[in-house]
Amino acid sequence: MTDQDQRATDAIGQAQRFPNLHVSAHPLVQHKVTILSDERTDTTEFRRILNELTQLLVYEATADIPIRPMHYRTPLEPADGHHIDATVALVPILRAGLGMIDSARELLPNTRVYHIGIYRDEVSHLPVSYYHRLPDRLPDDLVIMLDPMLATGGSASAAATELKRRGAKWIKHVGIIAAPEGVQRMLEDHPEIRVYVARLDRQLDENAFIRPGLGDAGDRLFGTGDLASDAGN
């Protein structure tokens, strides 16, 4: 079996197990997530690869965004094309989600950006909300949550609950690495939310960190040392 055949077989198995999950089978994504996870990748390279992966995954996550026909002119003649027919908001989950926002906005430059701050308590492993910058009612057609790591799923689920409370109707989650436990949590709490990642890892360990994972995403992104708060959410 070729690597391409194996990726296709894995994708089928993952879809059967987690109907809410999309794991990119693109060779570029698989190549780059390996570099991102490697312990030898320094902060500068980590940030660059995270930006590239974010764009690739947001590209896949927006494949079903509605478009409308439009008439325009090229320098040579009139022509018919298409225009995105939806308003989109980006919601990074602090702090590691901040590392995905600039590259996502490059792909979707006319988006609003809101912020949600949630961290996972290191003892209880439960999400703790400490900040949000959201309107009372979200006017956007599509809201994309950004967070590199989906571990227990507690932070993502809590963020989705808050977004729904403020009127969000269509939500997607774009990350980099997920644990089965986190995907299952999202499936149970928010089955309509599609999760897009570069890799589904093996499991959570006793500290609720993703294994094999990539370490602490926030620390590797910002160069802030040996902290554990963003190793999984």
pLDDT: which is higher, 165 or 8? 165
pLDDT digits (tens, 9 = 90+) for 51-95: 999 999 999 999 999 999 999 999 999 999 999 999 999 999 988
Token couple for 138: 């979200």
- Which pTM was predicted? 0.89
- Domain extents in the chain: 3-67+82-222
- pLDDT score of 191: 97
- pLDDT score of 127: 75
Token couple for 125: 């492993």
- pLDDT score of 129: 80
Token couple for 158: 């809590």
Q: From CA 149, how far away is CA 213, in angstroms rounded? A: 9
- pLDDT score of 28: 97
Q: From CA 86, how far away is CA 142, in angstroms rounded? A: 7
> What 3 state SS string does the chain have?
CCHHHHHHHHHHHHHHHCCCEEECCCHHHHHHHHHHHCCCCCHHHHHHHHHHHHHHHHHHHCCCCCEEEEEEECCCCEEEEEEECCCEEEEEEECCCHHHHHHHHHHCCCCEECEEEEEECCCCCCEEEEEEECCCCCCCCEEEEECCEECCCHHHHHHHHHHHHCCCCCEEEECCEECHHHHHHHHHHCCCCEEEECEECCEECCCCCEECCCCCHHHHHHCCCCCCCCCCC
What is the separation of C-alpha 130 from the centre of its chain, rounded to a whole number of angstroms? 20
pLDDT digits (tens, 9 = 90+) for 32-44: 999 999 999 999 9
- pLDDT score of 119: 75
- pLDDT score of 128: 78
Say which CATH architecture domain 3-67+82-222 belongs to: 3-Layer(aba) Sandwich (3.40)
- pLDDT score of 124: 72
